[in-house]
């Protein structure tokens, strides 16, 4: 966009040209001035005034073909992106398309074809949109423009995805991925992986969806890091330029050399002292973080020991006494009630601390915990490599506690019908996905103790986790930690 200062400088010049054209009846100069004024108004977001000027340009005969063409394109862009009048945008793009034989320029062809394809897609005219996207694709392929070839494949994939033609959509996304692999453009690659995640998730292939989502998020992190590196590099460049200017100034002012040297030395001392203070502060912060982490680990360890003690007391003390009482019961109803009490006490004991946790695989623990909920919900549980690879007991127990807390939150707050659980164990990582089709995360749940417990245990493992909106409703929890 043109800033207000530039607009104030340019606008009087254009107004002067327009006045001169009207006074001299110079039609060509008048059309050109109107077009320039419309361009400036467009760049300063004065869209209504810009549309009025473009309309005046379009009233003239099409002998000023280039101006006519760009007036049509910009009018279409304003209607599509700002006034949201799709039909009008399509109409102006098609008028520009009709001028293509008179404006033999590949860049202009791409401008109108891509704009028309997008407008038709936005208006859900899928067949026509596909036809124009394929024309765009042919031009980019001819020019070996890999980035735009990949983006066009991705646009075609989105076109079919909107029509719920997931197989064709996935085919185009994979073509886009195959093309972009030969470039260094990670932004486009990240978007393609996210599109593949959406298609696979829509079709219930949650394992592949999770893999694509992880790759998309990894590339997103890389993009952020790269942008920061470029930002730092730009600052370094500016700093270097400033230093260069300082050196030139020193050369011109040789009489002040000693003063400048003294100033630089003083500045260096201040910088070193500042760096020293920063490092000391970082050490202090690291020490505090380690202390907090140790407190957290001690708290969780004490909690687990207490759980284990209470579970043992229930199992060895309470259940034993209940069994003794059961033997003295002569009434069948009382005996049955006593048996139910024993079963309840055993369930509480096992929830507090699962027996033989060192020997039982993580997926068996999760599957066993889900047994009590299968009568209440439609539960789907997938497990990959969970019984083939050993997981350290402390990590296994912490992941199990996180899972328990998640299911408890679902039971209390979600009001859902379905629960989806995916578990994958490799030599280096544990990945878990828990989803439901319930009400989502309310303010009460977000500020509750359950999510805070989950966060504490995730931090204990130095793991990564994220709550996202499930499709079409509910919540999805994604978790990943190193072994």
191 and 270 part of one domain: no
390 and 467 part of one domain: yes
46 and 194 part of one domain: yes
The two beta strands, 464-469 and 429-436, are unpaired
**CATH number of the domain within which 72 lies:** 1.25.40.10
On whether residue 284 sits in a domain, the answer given is yes
On whether residue 443 sits in a domain, the answer given is yes
On whether residue 240 sits in a domain, the answer given is yes
First-to-last CA distance in the chain?
51
Distance in angstroms (rounded) separating the CA atoms of residues 130 and 80:
18
141 and 19 part of one domain: yes
Instruction: Please give the model's pTM, rounded to 2 decimal places.
Output: 0.43
Q: Which long-range contacts (CB under 8 A, 24 or more apart) does 226-230 make?
A: 226/186
136 and 257 part of one domain: no
Give, as one character, the DSSP assignment of residue 83: S
Distance in angstroms (rounded) separating the CA atoms of residues 341 and 329:
14
**20 close to 26: Cβ distance less than 8 angstroms:** yes
On whether residue 288 sits in a domain, the answer given is yes
376 and 273 part of one domain: no
- Residue 250 structural domain: 232-320
253 and 176 part of one domain: no
In 3D space, the residue among 189, 155, 148 whose CA is nearest the CA of residue 172 turns out to be 155
Question: Looking at 301, 320, 339, which one is the last position of a domain?
Answer: 320
CA angle 433–359–353, rounded 5-degree value = 70
422, β-bridge pairs: 382, 433
Distance in angstroms (rounded) separating the CA atoms of residues 38 and 20:
17
On whether residue 224 sits in a domain, the answer given is no
Question: Looking at 299, 320, 341, which one is the last position of a domain?
Answer: 320
Distance in angstroms (rounded) separating the CA atoms of residues 69 and 65:
6
194 and 241 part of one domain: no
For residue 380, give the H/E element and its range: strand 378-384
On whether residue 351 sits in a domain, the answer given is no
Across the chain, which has 483 residues, the per-10-residue mean pLDDT values are: 46 54 60 77 80 81 70 86 86 83 72 87 89 89 88 90 89 89 83 88 88 85 68 68 70 77 90 92 87 75 77 72 72 76 75 73 89 92 79 89 91 91 92 92 76 87 90 90 90
**CATH number of the domain within which 460 lies:** 3.30.565.10
Please report the pLDDT score of residue 481 as a whole number: 94
On whether residue 452 sits in a domain, the answer given is yes
Q: Give the 3-state secondary structure of residue 466.
A: strand
On whether residue 277 sits in a domain, the answer given is yes
Question: Looking at 320, 344, 369, which one is the last position of a domain?
Answer: 320
Structural domains counted in the chain: 3
For residue 244, give the H/E element and its range: helix 206-252
310 and 421 part of one domain: no
104 and 183 part of one domain: yes
Tokens of 362: 């993580």
301 and 370 part of one domain: no
142 and 282 part of one domain: no
């Amino acid at each position: 966009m043109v800033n207000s200062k530039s607009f104030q400088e340019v606008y009087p010049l254009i107004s002067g040209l327009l006045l001169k054209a009207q006074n001299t009846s110079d039609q060509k100069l008048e059309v050109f001035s109107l077009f320039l004024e419309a361009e400036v108004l467009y760049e300063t977001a004065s869209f209504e005034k810009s549309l009025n000027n473009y309309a005046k340009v379009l009233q003239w005969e099409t002998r000023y073909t280039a101006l006519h063409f760009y007036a049509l394109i910009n009018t279409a862009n304003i209607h599509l992106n700002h006034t949201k009048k799709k039909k009008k945008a399509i109409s102006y793009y098609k008028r520009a398309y009709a001028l293509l034989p008179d404006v033999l320029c590949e860049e202009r062809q791409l401008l109108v074809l891509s704009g028309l394809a997008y407008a038709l897609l936005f208006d859900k005219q899928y067949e026509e949109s596909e036809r124009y996207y394929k024309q765009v694709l042919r031009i980019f392929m001819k020019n070996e423009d890999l980035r735009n070839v990949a983006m066009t494949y991705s646009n075609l994939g989105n076109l079919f995805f909107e029509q719920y033609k997931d197989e064709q959509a996935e085919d185009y996304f994979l073509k886009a991925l195959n093309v972009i692999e030969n470039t260094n453009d990670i932004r486009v690659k990240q978007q393609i992986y996210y599109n593949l995640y959406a298609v696979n998730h829509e079709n219930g292939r949650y394992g592949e969806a999770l893999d694509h989502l992880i790759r998309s998020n990894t590339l997103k992190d890389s993009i952020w890091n790269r942008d920061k590196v470029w930002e730092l590099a730009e600052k370094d460049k500016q700093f270097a330029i400033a230093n260069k200017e300082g050196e030139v100034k020193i050369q011109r002012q040789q009489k002040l050399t000693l003063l400048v040297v003294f100033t630089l030395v003083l500045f260096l001392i201040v910088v070193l002292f500042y760096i020293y203070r920063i490092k000391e502060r970082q050490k202090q912060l690291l020490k505090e973080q380690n202390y907090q982490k140790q407190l957290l680990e001690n708290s969780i360890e004490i909690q687990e020991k207490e759980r284990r003690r209470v579970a043992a007391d229930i199992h060895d003390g309470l259940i034993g006494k209940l069994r003794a009482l059961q033997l003295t019961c002569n009434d069948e109803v009382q005996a049955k009630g006593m048996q139910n009490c024993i079963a309840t006490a055993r369930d509480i004991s096992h929830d507090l601390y699962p027996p033989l946790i060192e020997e039982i695989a993580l997926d068996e623990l999760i599957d066993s915990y889900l047994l009590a909920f299968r009568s209440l919900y439609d539960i789907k549980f997938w497990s990959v490599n969970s019984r083939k690879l050993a997981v350290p007991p402390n990590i296994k127990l912490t992941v199990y506690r996180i899972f328990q807390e998640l299911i408890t939150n679902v039971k209390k707050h979600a009001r859902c019908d379905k629960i989806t659980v995916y578990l994958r164990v490799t030599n280096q990582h544990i990945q878990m996905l828990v989803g439901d089709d319930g009400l989502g995360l309310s303010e009460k749940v977000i500020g509750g103790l359950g999510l805070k417990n989950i966060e504490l245990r995730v931090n204990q493992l130095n793991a990564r986790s994220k709550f996202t909106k499930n499709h079409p409703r509910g919540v999805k929890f994604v978790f990943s930690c190193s072994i």
